[in-house]
Amino acid sequence: MTALPTVVSAEEWEKARAELLTAEKAATRVQDQLAAQRRRLPMVQFGDYTFQSPAGPVTLLELFGDQQQLALYQFMDAGPEHFCPGCTYFTKQVTDLDGLLGSGIAWATVSDMPLAQMSGYWEQMGWTVPFASSAGTTFSADCGAGGGFLLNSFLRDGDTVYRTYSTTQRGVDRVLFGNNIQDLSVYGRQEEWEDSPAGWPQHPTYG
């Protein structure tokens, strides 16, 4: 039987919740400070790249559309007929792109997978997220993604593109709706790396 949290009185629960809230507010203030520091990062000019999209060749600049900012996710290339489960999980949660456009930010997903492989997977998954293949370019390597995944932020000034931010691993994890909701639940993500009480359900992260 799965273990359960300790049952306490309403008064005891309110006290424990208040103690946690104090720690949560402190963490929120740290996140606000990090966001302020992030907004003050310098930027670096980025090269010109041409990707392959379902509509034909498209440049990094063209992925902006008429927006000044671009959020771009590098989807891992796991090889022919294989697809990264983490990137798949992430892409399933990319929504409300119209709302993002309203904030002046375009979105695109690129991968070193061949365009035909990406197109087939997008159709299979029913995704409408804009995508392009970076296969044959040095884009992934130049971003530092290597064979992995990465989330980039770009800014354009006229026809010049600059990189303003990038993150991977837990930095990408923090924007995921599903993970954040699980983190608020009593059993968390149920992954073996988590610090959970004895008896809590846990499984391998990529199991």
For residues 124 and 204, the model is more confident at: 124
Matching CATH number, 44-173, of 2.40.50.140, 3.20.190.10, 3.40.30.10, 3.40.718.10 = 3.40.30.10
- The domains of the chain are located at 10-40, 44-173
Task: Extract the tokens encoding 89.
Answer: 């999980």
Question: Which of 21, 63, 19 is closest to 153 using CA atoms?
Answer: 63
pLDDT digits (tens, 9 = 90+) for 11-60: 999 999 999 999 999 999 999 999 999 999 999 999 999 999 999 999 99
Buried b (16+ CB within 10 A) or exposed e, 156-188: beeeebebbebebeeebeeebeebeeeeeeebb
The percent of residues in the chain predicted with pLDDT above 90, rounded, is: 86
Q: 114-143 pLDDT, tens per residue?
A: 999 999 999 999 999 999 999 999 999 999
Cut 0.85: pTM above it:
yes
Q: How high is the pLDDT of residue 151? A: 97
Reported in sequence order, the residue ranges of the chain that DSSP labels E, i.e. its strands, are 44-45, 50-53, 56-59, 69-75, 105-111, 131-133, 150-157, 160-167
